[in-house]
Amino acid sequence: MENKMTVRAATASDGPLMRDYMLKLGRYQKMEEHITAEPDQLAGLVASGQARAFFAVRDGQTVGFLFCYTVCSAFIGASGYYIDALYIDEGHRGEGIGRALMSRIAQECVAAGYGRLEWGCLDWNEPALAFYRKLGADLVQEMRIYRIHDEKIRKLALT
């Protein structure tokens, strides 16, 4: 076996594969019921340029996934990418696949002139936290993420 690994950009035809990886991530995070995006929705986000996605492929087999979108910061006056999903198949963790996906999105940031790459991580996910520390990422301890969605958005819009 050659053991060759590449990272490829997702296309609109990858909707089902993106959905499969989102379900894997949801199961791992014990949040599968929150994964409601359908393959055509994920494909539409990528096709429209609203999101980017990448797959790690080893010897013809997809073994990892990264999904991100552009954000901008008034603090730094620049855009960046927010990584919404990163998942490496269980049997392939520790093989450099996560680093390859993170390196690819970092290359995309540099090429676009972006000044930030950020993501969230569940506080119990120690393997991921250790991986991010190894990458040299800074933990923003003083931040909390707030979210309004679905019916709460509509309710707020009416106030």
Active site residue 146: no
Catalytic position from the list 21, 81, 87, 132: 132
Angle at 70 between CA 88 and CA 58, to 5 degrees: 25
Using the CB atoms, write b or e for 87-103: b if 16+ within 10 Å.
Answer: bbbeebbebebbebbbe
Dmax of the chain from CA atoms? Answer: 61
Assigned token pair, 115:
């000044």
Using the CB atoms, write b or e for 48-71: b if 16+ within 10 Å.
Answer: eeebbbbbbbbeeebbbbbbbeee
Q: Which amino acids are annotated catalytic? A: 132
